[in-house]
Amino acid sequence: MIGLRAPRMSCRELVTLVTEYLEGSLAARDRRRFERHIRGCDGCTAYLEQMRDTIRLAGSLRESDVSPQARRELLAAFRDWKQS
């Protein structure tokens, strides 16, 4: 199958793979499909940049920056997530 081009990636598929892309763990074929998609999709390019910003900002967040209410809500959300 040399020379066959991988199928185009949909926006929905890109969203499911964005974490793996940012972590550098996507297979080479999927990384090429991902990068080809973002070159032609302004919406997904914006989404990728938002994810990068979120990761960067979350990395600088200290526990004291989070309100007690937000902390309780986050803990409850993750507690429920683990039980699913």
Residue 48 lies in a domain: yes
Residue 3 lies in a domain: no
- The confidence score (pLDDT) of residue 1 equals 47
Residue 43 lies in a domain: yes
- CA distances 29 to 4, 36, 47, 71, Å, are 12, 11, 21, 39
Residue 69 lies in a domain: yes
The boundaries of the domain holding residue 16 are 11-83
Q: In this structure, what CATH number is given to the domain that contains residue 36?
A: 1.10.10
- The confidence score (pLDDT) of residue 6 equals 73
pLDDT of the chain along its 84 residues, tens only? 455 677 899 999 999 999 999 999 999 999 999 999 999 999 999 999 999 999 888 888 788 888 999 989 888 888 876 554
Compute the distance between CA of residue 78 and CA of residue 81 in angstroms, rounded to an integer: 5
Instruction: Indicate the number of domains in the chain.
Output: 1
Residue 74 lies in a domain: yes
pTM above 0.75, yes or no: no
Contact 51, 20 (CB under 8 A): no
Residue 2 lies in a domain: no
- Identity (one letter) of the amino acid at 82? K
- The confidence score (pLDDT) of residue 82 equals 56
